[in-house]
Amino acid sequence: MTHNGLAQPASSLHFREEEAGGRRAAPPPSEVLYAGGRPFPALAACEHYAGSEKHLRKALELQNSLQNAGVPLFDVTADCEDGAPVGGEREQAALIAALINSSDNRFDRLGARIHDARHPAWRDELEIIVGNAGWSLAYLVLPKAECAADVAEQIAALAACRARHHITHEIPVHVLIETPGALHEAWQIAALPEVETLDFGLLDYVSAHHGAIPAYAMHAPGQFEHPLIIRAKCETATAALAHGKVPTHNVTTDFRDLKEVAADARRARHEFGFLRMWSIHPDQIEPIIAAMRPNFAEVGVATDILCAAAAADWGPIQVDGRLHDRASYRYYWELLQRARLTGTPLPRAAREHFFDHAPTQGDSS
Report CA Rg, the chain: 21
Please tell me the CATH superfamily of domain 46-292, with its number: Phosphoenolpyruvate-binding domains (3.20.20.60)
25 falls in which pLDDT band (50, 70, 90)?
low
Distance (Å, rounded) from C-alpha 335 to C-alpha 362?
16
Question: Is there a contact between 116 and 122 (Cβ–Cβ < 8 Å)?
Answer: yes
d(CA 162, CA 156): 10
By three-state DSSP, how is residue 174 classified?
strand
Give the pLDDT mean for 46-63.
97
* pTM exceeding the 0.85 threshold for the entire prediction: yes
Q: Kindly state the percentage of the chain with pLDDT values over 90.
A: 81
Give the number of other Cβ atoms within 10 Å of residue 248's Cβ: 29
DSSP structural state of residue 121 = T
SS (HEC) of 228-286: HHHHHHHHHHHHHHHCCCEEEECCCCCCCCHHHHHHHHHHHHHHHCCCEEEECCHHHHH
Name residues whose C-beta falls within 8 Å of residue 250's C-beta, 6 or more positions apart in sequence. 199, 200, 201, 202, 203, 223, 277, 278
How confident is the model over 66-120, as pLDDT tens digits?
998 889 999 999 999 987 788 899 999 999 999 999 999 999 999 999 999 999 9
Which tens digits make up the pLDDT trace of 122-168? 999 999 999 999 999 999 999 999 999 999 999 999 999 999 999 99
Helices marked H in 66-213 = 89-101, 122-133, 148-164, 180-184, 186-191, 202-207
Q: How many CB atoms lie within 10 A of CB 222?
A: 15
* CATH 3.20.20.60 domain residues, the chain: 46-292
Q: How far apart are CA 336 and CA 301, in angstroms?
A: 10
In 3D, which of 223, 273, 219, 226 has the Cα closest to residue 245?
A: 273
Whether residue 221 has a cis bond before it, omega within 30° of 0 = yes
For residue 360, pLDDT beyond 90: no
Burial pattern 25-61, b for ≥16 Cβ within 10 A else e, equals ebebbbebbbeeeebbbbbbbbbbbbbeeebbebbbe
